[in-house]
Structure formats: C-alpha cells, structure tokens
Structure 1
Amino acid sequence: MNRLRRWWRPWMTDMALVVVSALDVWVVFWWGEPTWDMWLIGAGVLALLLRRRRPMAVFLVTLPTALFMGQAAAPLIALFTLASRTHRRRLLAVATLVLATCMVWPVGVQLSEYPLDSWILADAAYALAPAAAAAFLGQLVQVRRELSARLVEITEAREHEQLMATQKVLSEERAQLAREMHDVVSHQVSLIAVRAGALQVSTADAEAKEAAGTIRTLSVRTLDELRHMVNVLRAGGSGPTDLAPQPTLAQLADLVAGSGIEATLRIGPHPELGPPAERAIYRTVQESLTNVRKHAPGASAKVVLAHEGGGVTVTVHSTAPTRPAVPLPSSRHGLLGLHQRAALLGGTLTWAATPDGGWRNTLTLPV
C-alpha cells in the first residue's frame, strides 16, 4: 500500500475521475446523435482536470450535466472538491441545494409531469441525499487534512518548546556556576595573590620571597583564566555547547530561511555593530519568528534592518494568521527578556498589534 501511494500521483486521480464521468455520460447518451447539450456536458467532464485549482468554476461548469442528465457523477465530484477546499459554509449549502434542484428537475421535464403527492418529495430526497453526501465527505476530508497539518505544527512547537526549556536550564546552570566561580573561587584566589604579594615584600628570606612571587604570579594567571571561563559560561548559555560561537548578522539570512514560515529579509546600509548589538538583533528576530510560527499559523513575516535617526532599527512585521492558533504552553518571558537585553545596550524594544490583524516588533539600538 505504501509503495502504491509513492507511485500514485494526483493527476492520475483526476484522469480516473474524468474517465468515470465520461462513462456515466456515455451510458445515458450512447444511442443519441451529438447535440450542443452533449458538447456542453463534455466540457463539464473535461473541466474536472482543473478541479484542484478552480473548484468553484469547475462546479459551475459541471452544473449543465445535472441539468440535462439529472443524477450525474461530474457535478457530484466537483461539489466534493469544492467542499474539501472552502471554509464558506453558506456558499457550500447554496451549492448543494442548487445541485439537488438541478438533479431533481432536469431540463425538459414539465411540472405537470410530476404528480403532486409524496413522490415529488421522494425525488427531492433522492436528489438531495447524494449532493449532501458529497458536501459532507468533502468537509470531512478538509477537516482531516487540517487536523493532520495542525498535529504537525503542534509537534514542531512542542519540540521547539522542549529545546528552549533545555537551553534555559543549561543557561541557568551556567549562570549559577559562573556566579559561584566569580563570588567564591575568584575571591579566594584574590586573597591568595594578596597574601603572597605581602609575604614577598615583608620577608627577608630569598627562598621564601621567590616562592611567594611564584604563588602570586600563578594566582594572577588563575584569576585571568577564571575571568575568561566566567565570560564563556555567561555567553554560552544560548546554545547546547559550552564553547558554541555566538550568532552574528551574517547568520541572519539562514535564520530567516530556516524559520519554518514564509519570511523575507531586507538588510539596508548600516554601520559596523559590536558583538552584543549583533546578538541582540539576532535573538530579537529569532524570538519574533518563533512567536509568529506558534501564535499565527499561516502568517508571513517581513524582517527589515535599517539605519535610521542615528541608530539601527530592526522591524519584524507579521501578517494576520490564516488559521486559528492552537493554545500552547508558554512562559511569556521571551519579549520581556529581549526588552531587558535592549535596555542594557541603551536601546528599546516595542511590540504592538497592527491594524491588519498582524503583529510588529521593533528593536532600536544606538550606534
């Protein structure tokens, strides 16, 4: 079965449906001479090849088949496709009633031919049942397809949340270790260096003076190494690796391209920025795109970096979501953390909803 699915293509399904509809027409009109209505019906059958691209237009083209034949396969297939691709329930209900009317009252049948009793209700029920079934099946396929896409989004979001939680724990552990090394170990090594320096100055013994000098030199080197390790621990909290290189503006294009949403990047002329500013820009864009993917399914985003008013401005503007968002667990501290990062650099971070239903984050850093 899996091998058949890999081999089968959507156009093969469309061709099979065209063949079935053509056989349905041939069974009814095989004995007759070709007329203009038959050509119109044939056009409706061939239009099924475009049912995925233009479902509403194909449905309208196939309606003459029901008008001239009554019960027919082509308009039912077109209605099924329309139902599987539209979210307009009223339009779908009207299309179902129109198709049922065409099938129950074909062209050429006079009202006088219908006995005004329960038979006309039975014919209406027989016509409405397949039309309603096609519409319900199409809606079922649509719900199943959207549910599968939503499950994929939820899985990706949970994996991302788990990765972020893991990185947060690692960052907290590194920060705690850095504090311990700075407050305890560095303090004690500093005392050793001071006492060794005092001993070197106060003693008259040459051997003791040399030993004290050695201790003082090693203590100073140890302090330098400790400072370097503390900086590494504090700066390396954003990645799973202790010595992972910090992100720069050169990696911004890869971040936007791999964000999992439709996003564009425009970088204008700007002065050279320091590593802290580049990291702030990178983290702001990363968090903003993550929020778009989590909270605005189907939305697109535009990232613009420009030099304005003596500072560098980064704007992440997202459009309105095309699908309802799935409630996901969130700490809601991402934007607040970015705001604090911007404040430490003397800049600002603002965020607000846009009139078109989207969202805009703006980071401004002084040059």
Structure 2
Amino acid sequence: MSTADEALGTAFREEWGQVLATLIRVTGDWELAEECVQEAFAKALERWRAEGVPRRPGAWLTTAARNTAIDRLRRAAVGADKLREVAAMWHEPGTPGSEEHAEIPDERLKLMFTCCHPALTMEARVALTLRTLAGLRPAEIARAFLVGEATISKRITRAKQKIKHAGIPYRVPPAHLLPERTPSVLAVLYLLFTEGYAATAGDALVRRELCAEAIRLARVLARLMPGEPEVSGLLALMLLHDARRAARVDADGALVLLEDQDRTRWDAAEIEEGTALLDAALRQRDPGSYQVQAAIAACHARAARPEDTDWAQIAALYGTLSRLHPAPVVELNRAVAVGMAEGPAAGLAIADALAASGTLSGYHLLPATRADFLRRLGRTEAAAQEYRVALELAGTEAERGYLRGRLTELGG
C-alpha cells in the first residue's frame, strides 16, 4: 500500500466526521454534504498519489468538499446568500475560526445532538450518528444492533428524510432540552468506543482512533454536563476498558484473554482517573447502566491477579444491570460471571437458555461462551462443535485465530 493510500485511510478514520459535520452545518443539506465529502476523498486518492500527501489532510479535504459544494449549489441556482456562506468556509475543522458554539465546542458533538433529535427513534438516532460521524459502514452498525444490514440502511435513509422534511435544524438544543437527548448521545459514544475496542470486522481487533475519539467526545460532554452521573459513568467505563487495550493483543495481533493479560501493561493513570470518576458519580446516588458497567470494569481493574477477581460481585452487578437495562448480551455476560463464580455448569444453564430463545442468533460470542463452558466440563466433542459455529460467525481475524487455537487444543 502506498503512502498516499495509508494517509487517506488515516484521514478517513480521523477526519470524516469533522469534515462532514462542517459541510452539513454550512450547506444545511445532509445528502449534498455526504456526496461532496465522498467526492473530496475520491479526489484526494488521485491527487495525493500524484502530488504527495498535504501537510494538513483535514484542511485539504474540507476545502475540496467546500469547492464541490459551491459548484453544485451554483449549478442548482440557489440563493446568493447560501453561496457566499459556503464560499466563506476556509477554516480547517476545529480551528479557532470555526465559529464554535459557546456551549458545545466541537462540530461533531453538535451534529451528534442534531442526529439525536427526539423526533427520531432511538435506533435511528444511534444508527444515523454512527454512520455520519464515525463513518461506520452499515454492516458494522448492523452487527452492533444484531440486525441485518438492509434494516440499518433503511433506518438511516428514513432518518435523513425525516430530518429534511421536518426541517430539524443543525443546532444545539437549549440547556433544559439537553437531558432528553443525552441518553441517545451516550449510546452513540458507547457504541463508537465499542467498535474501536472490539471491532466487528477486519484484521485488527482494536481500532485505536475510534477509542480515542469516543473518549475525547465523552470528555467534552462531561465538561458540558458536570452534574450528570451517567455521563461521568460512561467516561469512567471507557477509561477503565481502554486501560487494558494494550494488553488485549500480543505482538502478532493475536487475542489475549483477560485472565492471560500482562497486567503490568495496563494503564495505571487511566485506571486511577476512571475509578475517581466512578466514585464521584456513585456518590450522587442516582445509579444508571453506565455506572454499573463501570463498576464491573473497576472490579477487573482492581484485581492484581486473575485469581483475585471478585466474580461473585461481578455476577451480582450484572444482575443489577439486567434490571436496569434488560438485554440478551447483558445476560450472556452474566452467564460468564456466574460460570466463574459458581462453576461452568451454572453458567452453561444461562447460556443454553439464551441459545434456546434465539435472541442472539448469529452472535459469535454465544457459541464461543457455550464452547468454553463445555470444554471446562470435559465435554470435548460438544465444545469443538460450538467453537466451529463461533469460528464461522467471528468477524475479526484476531478472534478467528483464538477460536482456531481452541479447536486445535481439543484436537479439532
């Protein structure tokens, strides 16, 4: 792969959301903005290969997208005021000249609140924001929702149409309306981080740039809403997970299970910050699902050795989480914790009930979890079959490599 191709890939991951947010803000046209940004990236591929990578890729892409927007608006014979507004857009996203909103000093966070308008369903808000701001493909978003790619594509299309037809403005809601959109924004940030921490597809298990962007935006939101415990809880959760990121894969990119990780590689500063944020949030005595998940992550972070992990406490916390946020994935995680606290037979019973319900059909971690319980119970042949099913469903090479290794251990 050439230097230009690598630079463009990095720019797509790091700059897509910012460039698109700027174009949407200025043009007021979602579809036009997306088309112009896509064309800018296509031009970059050709020009950067021939002329070299610019010093500021984001500024180059913004200018290219802006010029395309001016051409299209001119051909459409729109008003002179709109043309002047777009033509004035010379600044690079995020620089002091970007007319930042006084309350939310980030274009992407502003657009995130726009996407999370209460006129849209929760599913549509989250899907649209992940597609628009993170540049995630419909297939990646579909895996996060455990639905088909076509379903997600339709949700995104309908959400864009509703924003256009309802005249939903690109602006931050007043302070008294922020709470009604906050749950959606938190869900977006969490799924953005999750896609970075455990990618749904590709060669790499971890996408560091997505983790970093989710944490950055969560920090901005925490400064905006310092008294909101779930915002602090989410930031704490991200930091406590991110602290283990470097130890999750080995030098060859292979998956390393939590129990086998070198805990000296965990980021002590992130653990300390995350724990402090969690403690401050819990003192407000307004528990929520992100605070409970952060408490689970803190249980792992505080264990100096795998055998020091308080699995009974973790299982109890997952029980609390199930009541606050009932979801099949939460129940699967509870099965793992129960299996560690009470033995594999107890965990397998929960996992088997999930399999019978069909709610996690196609989710590779369900057969992988059942396989692990069966292996620990000495049921080798049944375990091998479940590992094969998981192998067929796994989306990343790191996960497939781990599952192949387990099959080899079982002689399969």
Q: Same fold (TM over 0.5)?
A: no
Provide TM-score, normalisation by structure 1. Answer: 0.26
Higher strand share: 1
**Which one has the bigger helix percentage?**
2
TM-score calculated relative to the size of structure 2 = 0.24
Which structure would you say has the larger RCO, counting Cα contacts within 8 Å and 6 or more residues apart? 2
Q: Look at both structures and tell me which one has the larger radius of gyration over its CA atoms.
A: 1
